[in-house]
């Protein structure tokens, strides 16, 4: 062997040895067990049926970690009949989750274990920090009121923006809020965004070649599963687990205006002019893409400038869930004949998707009777093709 090839061979061996010496960072570093999952462990050992719900955005909607968790639970506890509620909807974060929780999760029956994720979409959608806390706290307290024995695991998934913030020594706001609520209510949480960032820095894998996208590759989905399994395997294998109520009712709220009674309000409750149409089975005429659950459903729609509607409601917060497509407009509105305000319904994704989009008109109102008045504005986003407003639900906190 020539000296040239000998040096090359030694270099390869050196690189392999260096790679082999990388010690993977344990997932336990990124898990806060806090109150743990003793109620779920008790249910597994004492109930014939255990219900697990997955509430989140596209990373929960897409096939991957949740199916692996379902398989893991069924294989590990074959005597238990598991029921799984898949409540992931792409693009939705904590604000949509808190208003759809009742219909999409709780109406399906008593839930024993709830997995909750919203950190990616809360950041991408630009949900402000106060609204994040009000929404996350609302989900937790509403779920607890429905079943005080329900265990909740809060998860923060990864994306390049979060990695960049961590690299600068900053904690992403959406993750800070997830941990704030989890800590206040003694809930288990998993910071997968920090785990991914640290493992990349530890040269265990790369984002470009392995993880690839905030919608993780199969490699990324497997990593999420392994992290969650670390928590489950540590918490559920306890035959002596006790069933105890989570005492949320006795814990003070983080924000007095949190959406603890969030729900949908049927669009048929509105009073509207003849410029509006109640389409019982809406589909887009422009053939632009849609999201499941927001197509072939009743939609109150108008694209006429000056079209008005009013809605009387009782509560302390009001909003609407819409589909925002290429022709989404701007609406003017007042609450109780107060100052007129405006909301642009066009989003950065509207050009190619009729996106489910949730907006708040008012929150922190005096708890009581109110009236919303809405008008389609003669102004519109410069990128929009029209002035449309398409309402799927009103959002009410009561």
Cα separations in angstroms, 63 against 59, 140, 179: 8, 25, 26
**Residue-averaged pLDDT of the chain:** 94
Sign of CA dihedral 39, 66, 174, 395: negative
Burial of 33 by CB count in 10 Å (0-12 exposed, 13-18 middle, 19+ buried)?
A: middle
The confidence band for 338, taking pLDDT boundaries of 50, 70 and 90, is very high
45-100 tens-digit pLDDT: 999 999 999 999 999 999 999 999 999 999 999 999 999 999 999 999 999 999 99
In terms of CATH architecture, what is 262-397?
Answer: Sandwich (2.60)
Q: Where are the alpha helices (DSSP H) in the chain?
A: 3-20, 38-46, 58-61, 65-76, 94-104, 119-124, 129-146, 160-167, 173-184, 192-201, 218-235
Give me the pLDDT at residue 22, please. Answer: 87
Q: Give the tens place of pLDDT for each residue, 358-390.
A: 999 999 999 999 999 999 999 999 999 999 999
Question: Stretch 197-206: mean pLDDT, rounded?
Answer: 98
* pLDDT confidence bin for 113, thresholds 50/70/90: very high
Q: What pLDDT score was predicted for residue 238?
A: 82
- Domain 20-250: state its class: alpha beta
The reported pLDDT for the residue numbered 13 is 40
Query: Given pLDDT bands bounded at 50, 70 and 90, which one contains residue 10?
Result: very low
pLDDT at 6 over 70: no
- The mean-pLDDT minimum among 1-15, 228-242, 335-349 falls in 1-15
Q: What is the pLDDT of residues 139-180, one digit of tens each?
A: 999 999 999 999 999 999 999 999 999 999 999 999 999 999
Distance of CA 298 to the CA centre of its chain: 24
State how far the Cα of 249 lies from the Cα of 219, in Å rounded to an integer: 40
| CA pseudo-torsion sign 107, 112, 115, 116 | positive
Note whether 20-250 and 262-397 share their fold.
no
pTM over 0.85: yes
Average pLDDT over residues 337-342: 98
Cβ–Cβ < 8 Å for 156, 193 = yes
Check residue 20 and give its pLDDT.
52
Q: Is the pLDDT of residue 3 over 80?
A: no
Q: Is the pLDDT of residue 43 over 80?
A: yes
Residue 21 is predicted with a pLDDT of: 78
At residue 105, the pLDDT reads 98
Q: For the chain, give every domain's residue range.
A: 20-250, 262-397
Average pLDDT over residues 172-189: 98
State the pLDDT at residue 18. Answer: 40
pLDDT of residue 7 exceeding 50, the answer is no
Give the model's confidence band at 239: pLDDT under 50 very low, under 70 low, under 90 confident, else very high: confident
Q: Is a pLDDT exceeding 80 seen at residue 343?
A: yes
Whether residue 19 is predicted with pLDDT greater than 90 in this model: the reply is no
Mean pLDDT, residues 28-36:
97
SS3 call for 27: helix
């Amino acid at each position: 062997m020539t000296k040239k090839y000998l040096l090359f061979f030694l270099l390869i061996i050196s690189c392999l040895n260096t790679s082999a010496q990388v010690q993977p960072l344990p997932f336990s570093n990124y898990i806060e067990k806090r109150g743990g999952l003793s109620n779920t462990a008790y249910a597994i050992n004492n109930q014939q049926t255990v219900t697990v719900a997955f509430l989140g955005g596209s990373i929960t909607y897409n096939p991957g970690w949740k199916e692996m968790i379902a398989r893991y639970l069924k294989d590990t506890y074959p005597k238990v009949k598991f029921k799984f509620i898949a409540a992931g909807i792409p693009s939705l974060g904590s604000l949509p989750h808190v208003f759809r929780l009742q219909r999409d999760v709780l109406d399906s029956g008593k839930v024993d274990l709830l997995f909750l994720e919203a950190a990616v979409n809360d950041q991408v959608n630009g949900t402000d920090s106060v609204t994040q806390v009000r929404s996350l706290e609302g989900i937790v307290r509403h779920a607890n009121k429905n079943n005080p024995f329900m265990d909740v695991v809060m998860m923060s998934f990864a994306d390049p923006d979060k990695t960049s913030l961590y690299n600068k020594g900053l904690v992403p706001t959406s993750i800070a809020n997830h941990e704030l609520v989890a800590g206040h209510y003694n809930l288990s949480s998993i910071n997968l965004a920090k785990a991914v960032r640290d493992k990349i820095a530890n040269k265990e894998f790369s984002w470009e070649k392995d993880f690839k996208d905030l919608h993780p590759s199969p490699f990324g989905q497997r990593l999420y599963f392994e992290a969650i399994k670390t928590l489950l395997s540590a918490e559920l294998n306890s035959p002596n687990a006790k069933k105890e109520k989570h005492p949320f009712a006795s814990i003070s709220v983080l924000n007095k205006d949190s959406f603890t009674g969030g729900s949908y309000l049927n669009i048929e409750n509105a009073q509207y002019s003849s410029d509006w149409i109640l389409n019982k089975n809406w589909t887009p005429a422009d053939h632009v893409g849609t999201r499941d659950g927001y197509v072939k459903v009743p939609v109150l729609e108008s694209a006429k400038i000056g079209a008005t509607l009013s809605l009387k409601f009782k509560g302390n917060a009001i909003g609407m869930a819409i589909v925002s497509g290429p022709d989404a407009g701007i609406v003017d509105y007042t609450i109780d004949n107060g100052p007129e305000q405006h909301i642009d319904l066009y989003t950065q994704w509207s050009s190619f998707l009729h996106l489910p989009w949730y907006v708040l008109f008012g929150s922190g109102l005096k708890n009581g009777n109110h009236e919303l008045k809405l008008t389609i504005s003669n102004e519109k986003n410069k990128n929009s093709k029209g002035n449309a407003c398409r309402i799927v639900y009103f959002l009410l906190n009561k």
